Amino acid sequence: DQQVKQNSPSLSVQEGRISILNCDYTNSMFDYFLWYKKYPAEGPTFLISISSIKDKNEDGRFTVFLNKSAKHLSLHIVPSQPGDSAVYFCAASYSSNTGKLIFGQGTTLQVKP
Amino acid sequence: KAGVTQTPRYLIKTRGQQVTLSCSPISGHRSVSWYQQTPGQGLQFLFEYFSETQRNKGNFPGRFSGRQFSNSRSEMNVSTLELGDSALYLCASSFLGVATEAFFGQGTRLTVV
């Protein structure tokens, strides 16, 4: 039972353009959503998060949007840079005070120079 | 400040054997969570330990177990290894189990032959 889904295994964009990574979830009890970035041979690195009471959170080039009615969130990266090329995971938790995260399967982003 | 340290980095075991993986969290962190990453299933939550107590558990068979010591270091054990246990095992640590403050180690790559 995949509660968090990233339906696009890969995405390729040109440097300077916008990258949009999508994530869908099924459990309405999720209270917190997070995005992680992972390079090969490294552990995931936290990027940005959003509480379920918000619909947008921004941090520099990264913005996460949450649509609770559609059970959908997205990560926008503007402008995209070659160093952004990595695997991006979205994750959900039932609260902010838990180490238990439910991850999607990841989307590989390639940013071409 | 030292990061999360996982040992060993690579491991090859034979089917039927058992294995113990170690995770040393960031100094002062009391929560350690374990995840299994496979190409087909993505990142799946195994369990979380907080102050030596298991606080959350994922949907894995009883062959997977863990513990946490008084210095917050954690170990996970897999008994009677199966070929399907081949995966990257990641641990993440945080001070209070707050997901947005969790740092991941580089992982242990386990290969079962």
Q: Report CB contact under 8 Å: B106, A43.
A: yes
End-to-end CA distance of chain B: 37
pLDDT given at position A1:
65
pLDDT given at position B1:
57
Residue A69 CA, distance from chain mean position: 18
User: Following DSSP, what letter does each residue of B44-63 receive, concatenated?
Assistant: EEEEEEETTEEEEE-S--TT
Percent residues over pLDDT 70 in chain B: 99
pLDDT given at position A95:
79
pLDDT given at position B12:
98
Of B44, B92, B106, Cβ closest to residue A99: B92
pLDDT given at position B77:
98
Amino acid found at A109: L
Q: Mutation test of the interface with chain B: which of A94, A101, A108, choosing the one with the most B Cβ atoms within 10 A?
A: A101
Q: Which residue has the tokens 């707050």?
A: B98
From chain B, the residues in CB contact with A42 under 8 A are 106
pLDDT given at position A5:
94
Tens-digit pLDDT profile for residues A18-53? 999 999 999 999 999 999 999 988 899 999 999 999
Amino acid found at B75: E
Ordered mean pLDDT values, 10 residues apiece, chain B (113 residues)? 89 98 95 91 91 92 97 97 96 83 92 97
Amino acid found at B16: G
What is the band of A2 on the pLDDT scale with cuts at 50, 70, 90? confident
Question: Beta strand pairing status for A86-93 and A107-112?
Answer: antiparallel
pLDDT given at position B11:
96
How many inter-chain contacts (A to B, CB under 8 Å) are there?
75
- Distance, CA of B101 to CA of A89 (rounded, Å): 16
pLDDT given at position A72:
97
Tens-digit pLDDT profile for residues A57-78? 999 999 999 999 999 999 999 9
Q: Which residues, 6 or more positions from A110, have their beta carbon under 8 angstroms from its beta carbon?
A: A10, A11, A12, A13, A85
Q: Hey, what are A102's tokens?
A: 């439910």
From chain A, the residues in CB contact with B44 under 8 A are 103
From chain B, the residues in CB contact with A64 under 8 A are none
Residue A68 CA, distance from chain mean position: 15
Tens-digit pLDDT profile for residues A76-85? 999 999 999 9
Rounded to an integer, the average pLDDT of A72-100 is 92
